[in-house]
Structure 1
Amino acid sequence: MIKLNVKIIYSILFIALFMWYCVENITDSQTSTPSIELYSPLSGDTVHIGKNTIKYAATDAPGGSGLDHFEIFINNVSSKIVPVNSDGSNPNLFLEVDSSLIFKKITYYVVVYNKAGKYKKSATQENIYVIENVPKAPGNLTLTRIDDYTVNLLWDDSANNETNYEVWRKEGTNGNYHRIQLLPANTISTNDGGLSPFVDYFYKVRAFNNAGFSNFSNEVSTNTLPGGPWNLTAEAIGASKVILHWNDFAVNEMGFIIERTNPRTGNFERLSPNALPNSTEYTDYSVMASTGYKYRVAYYTSTTVSGYSNEVSISTFYTDVPQPTNLTAVFKTSPDSVILKWTDNTFLEKGTVVERKTGSGGAFKEIGTTASDVSKFADTSVSRGVTYYYRVRQILGDRIYTEYSNTVQLTTPN
């Protein structure tokens, strides 16, 4: 009886050991297989000719020796084998589609292999439509003024698959862009007419095809047209003042002649008095409200008068508008910044220009603008232990402003 029980016990132990061994091997076989899941592109998506990023997640089984490589299959044909990165991390995978598949539907899947030779196939993604690439953006957009009312735009045709070009324009710095021209493929130039000589216009161009739109070209504007060495510019202050600015490149001049068109005849007439030697600014107080003018400048010596500067056009506002007042500046931390506040004395403004200079000998430069009816601005580009000066003025139209506010001074703490 005792011998029988011993045999039974040994049989039970043997069976248990055998079952444990089988389970361990089955479990090891299952867990040694890597895993992969695709997130994009998925069935029904659209891809472009060329490289399309595959978003995925893949890992080896717990306790495994790591992944080894990936194999991408397009239409059940191996397309590319990609090893894991040298540090063992997963590589970037791309679905690379050639032009022979354009406007067709494809399938793809990815197989991941681990260092033990085990592999896992992802789910197959089907009915993925192949379209052409979006065009490259046009480059080197330039602008040339033909006359007061017309400009020419010229750009590089960087694309070889565009169907059309679009020309976009906005009126004034604070305007909104809108499309003004639709042009055929391979266009590199166009004219835009019917413009006002008193408005600054901004332009950009882009291409498109069935796949979508290119990025926009660089932006150009009429206010950055070269004015030669003079670079004469003009701005109106409300209805009763125009300020001119230019570069003083003359040597030994005795002064500057300022000429302005007569709004009734359109002929240039000399203003009095002349500007003093070494001047770079002139204020014309003899203008009328809601009137357009054109200006030009020349310098003179004891024996001669120079050629004229570039001509610049400006229109005055229909009324004078009170400037912002009570400008204040307070330093704040986290982050370091100067908070500016002022009193808005009009509802006619389109926004406020904020200017700053560093140190008493610096020059004021624009550092930002606000929307209309906003009377607060945060200057976050300040440094410790520096003295800053601030002033603001409000925008009434294209190159039309109020007078400046009071100027405030603030020294940031060390």
Structure 2
Amino acid sequence: MKRSRIFIPVLLALTAGVFFSCKDDKPPQLDPPRAPILLAILSIGQTSVEMSWSDQSPDENGFRIERKTAAGNWETDGEVGVNVTYYAAIGLTPSTEYSFRVFSFNDAGDSDSSSNVRTITTLSNVLPPIPTLVQGTATSTTSIHVTWHKQGEPDSFQVDRRTSSGDWIELTTVSADVEQYDDTGLTPHTTYYYRVGAMNEAGTAWSEESDPVTTPIEGAPNAPSNLVAEAVMGIGVTLTWTDNSVNEDGFYLYRNISGQQFQKIDSVEADITTYFDAIGDAENIYTYRVRAFNEFGMSSEAQSAPVNYKYCSDGIIPICLGNEWRYNVEENGQDPFELRRDIVQVGYIQGYDHYLVIEYPFPIGDAVIDSTIYLRNFEGEGCKAAPFPLSGSVTSQLLFRYPIGSLGSHYFYRGDSILVISTGTTKVVGDHTFDGVVGYQRFLHGQGRSIRYWLKPGDVGIILEEEVVSSQIVLTREINDWIINN
């Protein structure tokens, strides 16, 4: 029993000695984890953001995600556990800027986050304005041209199509600056509907569906209509018509002369609805027809369009090939004689037909031509003149302004000043009385003389000329006869 009593204290003493001998040794110290890197934004929504990062620490307890708005302070958005590298922030406000950063943490504290800040703006929840005026036009038996009007500033457009009994199918997506689309590969004689969606980050705003559009049946094209023939004096005839078909290959043009058989004169390509027939000086009464054609045949004819084509220029002086004027001329100290002016040919100045007027004593006998000049009327301006002969640098200038303007007003013609001396009067010339006569006085530069012109606009032209020197009339030309073909 005594041995037992002695053994137990000794054992306790030995045991205590062991513990006491270790009381100054410290356990290993724990450090904060290394910071995550490569914070990346995976997706952005109107109210949520998904993100991921790379875990660089073997001893984190988890990760804490913080966020702040542009004007706010950092606050905890959420935490995830050890080795988790994905997080979705939810409950955000649309169209708002947010910054995010990620910490790893353990019992010793948080990692640094300076390299893991990302700033984004959540998507808008406001749809763009809907497109308007969506419409389709059949352009062939198998194609339809779709158009619409953009409203606002969408990011893009989506074009959908359906048949009368079908569901909507997506055809294409086009950029925001495009407002048309050609839908091809369709079925002839089939009705289609279209809608266009304006797209942005908030979604798609759909237009109302278009009116129905039916592709035509295969066969000869429909006949054109509203054929109009308009004479362009001295040049030719302009034809216009309405295209009533979407499957023509082109149009044939026909013309006849004064009741003769129609002859095909030309053809134009599909969708063209105008044609110019250059006739030149071939005056006559013409009638025109137009027909559409394709591989299946020709349409019926559009209504015929007649036109009385003259090589003329109507205005203050009636101008037409074959027009002539005869004047009695009296000059101081000389015997009276008759003067004749004829329009004999046409020239072109800057693309416009001008008419050559020659002047000579009548009967001609051995006399030579006294003068030549080109004339042409321009609507709203008056009668312009150019000297003979023509050259590449020649231009016509205003000789008789018409409408005439106010009394006493003036303008210039090739260095000469022209004054308006009458805006409407009655004048007796020889055996003729003329109403509505207008008058001009042309002061010849550097010559000390002037010429007074008296004109009956539209019907006759110049009825009287008076050359004046020192306020005295030294020469007169009075009209006695005229032939006007206008």
With normalisation by structure 2, the TM-score equals: 0.32
More strand by share: 2
- Name the structure, 1 or 2, with higher relative contact order (CA <8 Å, separation 6+): 1
With normalisation by structure 1, the TM-score equals: 0.36
